[in-house]
């Protein structure tokens, strides 16, 4: 009788861990897609409003809980020396923060 309760408890703990890992995987997938879409939408809006000409994004995992985005942008000649061509964004693993990129004169 005692052995059956132990096996039931082990099974319950195993199922609980599997459900928790599945939930974390789904949460990771959703938040990752939301953040990437927010970043892309913000940069696309800058292209549409002619604040930048083009952009390129590289994503890198810094550690288990952090991602680093390297964003390269190109400008037309009138803005080329006023703003940085490269900037970095750091994102915690489950962050979905909205991204707003503002341009102010750097020089």
Q: Which residue has the tokens 């928790």?
A: 20
Gyration radius from the chain CA atoms: 22
Nearest to 92 by CA among 73, 75, 67, 72: 67
CA 80/CA 84 separation, integer angstroms = 8
The pTM assigned to this predicted structure is: 0.75
Give the lowest-confidence range in 13-17, 19-23, 44-48, 103-107: 103-107
> Mean pLDDT over residues 83-89, rounded?
86
Tell me the per-residue pLDDT of 54-77, one tens digit each, with 9 for 90 and over: 999 999 998 988 899 999 999 888
3-state class (DSSP) for residue 91: strand
């Amino acid at each position: 009788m005692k052995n059956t309760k132990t096996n039931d408890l082990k099974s319950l703990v195993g199922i609980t861990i599997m459900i928790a890992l599945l939930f974390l995987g789904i949460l990771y997938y959703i938040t990752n897609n939301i953040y990437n879409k927010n970043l892309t939408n913000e940069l696309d809006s800058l292209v549409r409003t002619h604040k930048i000409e083009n952009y390129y994004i590289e994503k890198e995992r810094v550690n288990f809980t952090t991602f680093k985005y390297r964003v390269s942008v190109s400008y037309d000649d009138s803005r080329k020396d006023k703003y940085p061509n490269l900037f970095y964004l750091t994102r915690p693993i489950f962050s979905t923060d909205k991204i707003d990129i503002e341009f102010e004169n750097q020089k």
